[in-house]
Structure 1
Amino acid sequence: MPLPDYSLTNFTAGPYTRPVYRRGSGPAVIVIHEVPGLHTQVIDFADRLAQSGMSVWCPSLFGTPGGTPSKGAAAVQLFLNICIRREFSAWQAGRSSPIVDWLRALARQAHDECGGPGVGALGMCFTGGFALAMMTEPAVIAPVLSQPSLPIKGASTGSLDCSAAEIACARQRFADEDLSLLALRYKSDKLVPDARFRRLEREFPGRVETIELEDAHARPGTGLPPHSVLTVHLPDAGPGKDAERRVIAFLRHRLGLEPLAL
């Protein structure tokens, strides 16, 4: 087993079956990995969530669990190859990916097993917007969008990989249940342009908290332009590390846990 500190089950909903790696106890957080897959630095982040009092559920949607992040041209090619898979809607705005139905079912299962007021959902890069689309599942109460990079089409004008109905549902739930959204990016990130974050602010006024980092806040020496806020470009200190602390505090608060002592 590639992740020995995690238990492994296969979860089926609709036409999809995917492996899910779990660790920790307490209310659940679904951590939806980025390209190239459920790599070591995603697991490092999930470990810190588990150490903070949450049960982490890490589905493997593509790639090799426990692998290392791709670099340069290999990462781009892998991204494009994943984009053509039928369970993902990578190109068109105004709709979510078919795999999101599976993730909603996983969130229901996690809530049933772990209890608490609800479930957190955190997407990264390719899967960043999935956490917002998952808000049509009542169990999901704490969405986090880290460098949401889809859809590709219309990114410069603020496209989102959610349907109008999903956006309306999230807006209503934010108001009715006093919930909110957390979104993170590097300001220079061409995959996550300014227009997308301004669109989130327009769609959910007063209900979205944005964290927008400068290039200087990223871990140096990765060989990649700043992008992965919580993994590859996460530094050991400074505003970049503070962003991770804010994510953990947001999830703990929404999931009914006491604030961590600083």
Structure 2
Amino acid sequence: MTGSAPKSTLSGWVKAPFSGAGLTYDCYEKGSGPGVVLIPEIPGITPAVLGLADHLIDEGFTVVIPSPFGTPGKEETAGYTVGVLARMCVTAEFRAFALKAERPITAYLRAVAAALAARTPGRGVGVIGMCFTGGFALATAVEPSVVAPVMSQPSTPFPVSASRRGDPGMSAQELARIVERTRTDGLCVLGLRFSGDRLAPADRFATLREHLGEAFEVIELDSGPGNAGGFNRSAHSVLTRELRETPGNPALAARARTVAFLREHLHPTKQ
């Protein structure tokens, strides 16, 4: 691929600590309109994550980015990423390897979502998780105010075994509640991944599809040999690193669908 992923800075963002579920982290807020909680991918709130956030703001949303790891605004490098990842692997809030686990961080994110929903217009809020945090977005949908969860390349628990590759990334109780909401509240879920992404395995999406049925909309971008988007076989970050602002870029189309999904479910009357 040619070009580079859209990037931005912390200019104009309002930082404030937020406490919930026994945890406190800084949150960054900007924009107006219906609310979206954007959970950063590893290693944190990078310029690429901010590029996605500013696009959502331009599309008419209030965006809140919690900062549970990393240094906000710092450019991603291999060393920085490895250092953050090493700390997260042993941090109790994230339970990076646990099977069918309820993760303390998701209770915190539900509190962030509920607080945002209480002061923004719309039917509720959207939550976008990416990479390590991809599954956290779906787990927040236990909270009734979360009406548009988007899970992009969900990688937790780390897929180091067959059981972990097929794990939904949450407890059985959380999944049962989300399944119930798809049937009683009309909850819909958007999932994105690259076809060859081993960090966000197809088995995990198969498990979720089995439980969520037609309520689970999947966008799978081709990253196989000779793919039309020119993606490397290791392509991973659908909405940030791999996206190019060029017509025909499949990741650009995936971002457009993500924005449309949020609009459809957050606006008072679906458009």
> Within the alignment, does 1:190 sit opposite 2:198 as a pair?
yes
CA deviations 1:201-248 (Å, max 9, x no partner) are 101011101111122466769xx9300100111122322210000000
Once the two structures are superposed, the pairs formed by residues 123-202 of structure 1 within 5 Å of their partners are 123-152=129-158, 153-154=160-161, 157-202=165-210
Identity %: 38
Could you tell me whether the CA contact under 8 Å between 2:70 and 2:84 is conserved in 1?
A: no
Structure 1 141/226 Cα, relative in aligned 2: closer, same or farther at 3 Å?
Answer: same
Distance (whole Å) between structure 2 residues aligned to residue 81 and residue 248 of structure 1: 32
Deviation at 1:78, TM superposition (A): 3.2
Q: Structure 1, unaligned stretches of length 5 or more?
A: none
> 1: CA distance between counterparts of 2:80 and 2:182?
39
RMSD: 2.1
Residue among 226, 247, 250 paired with 2:261: 250
The amino acid of 2:150's aligned partner reads V
Q: Distance in 2 between matches of 1:49 and 1:218?
A: 23
Distance 1:219 1:50 in 2: 28
- How far the C-alpha of 1:174 sits from its partner, in A, is 1.1
Residue 53 (structure 1) aligns with: 60
Q: Counterparts of 1:257 and 1:236 in 2: how far apart (Å)? A: 30
For the residue of structure 1 that corresponds to 2:64, the secondary structure is: strand
How far apart in 2 are the matches of 1:166 and 1:257? 26
Q: How many aligned residue pairs are there?
A: 256
What amino acid is the match of 1:56? V
Once the two structures are superposed, residues 108-150 of structure 1 have per-residue CA deviations (whole angstroms, 9 ceiling, x without a partner) of 1001111321010110000000011111111101000000001
**Is the 8 Å Cα contact of residues 93 and 105 (structure 2) preserved in structure 1?**
yes
| TM-score (structure 1 length as normaliser) | 0.91
Determine which of 14, 22, 25 is the counterpart of 2:32.
Answer: 25
Report the Cα offset of residue 254 of structure 1: 0.5
Give the AA of the match of 2:220.
E
User: What does the per-residue CA deviation read over 1:68-99, in whole Å, with 9 as the maximum and x for residues that have no partner?
Assistant: 1233x653453233111111111012013211
The TM-score, its normalising length taken from structure 2, stands at 0.88
What CA deviation, in whole Å up to 9, does each residue of 1:167-218 have, x standing for no partner?
1111111111112100001111111111111111101011101111122466
Q: What runs of 5+ residues in structure 2 fail to find an aligned partner?
A: 1-8
* Partner of residue 114, structure 1: 120
Cα distance change, pair 230–163 in 1 and its aligned pair in 2 (3 A)? same
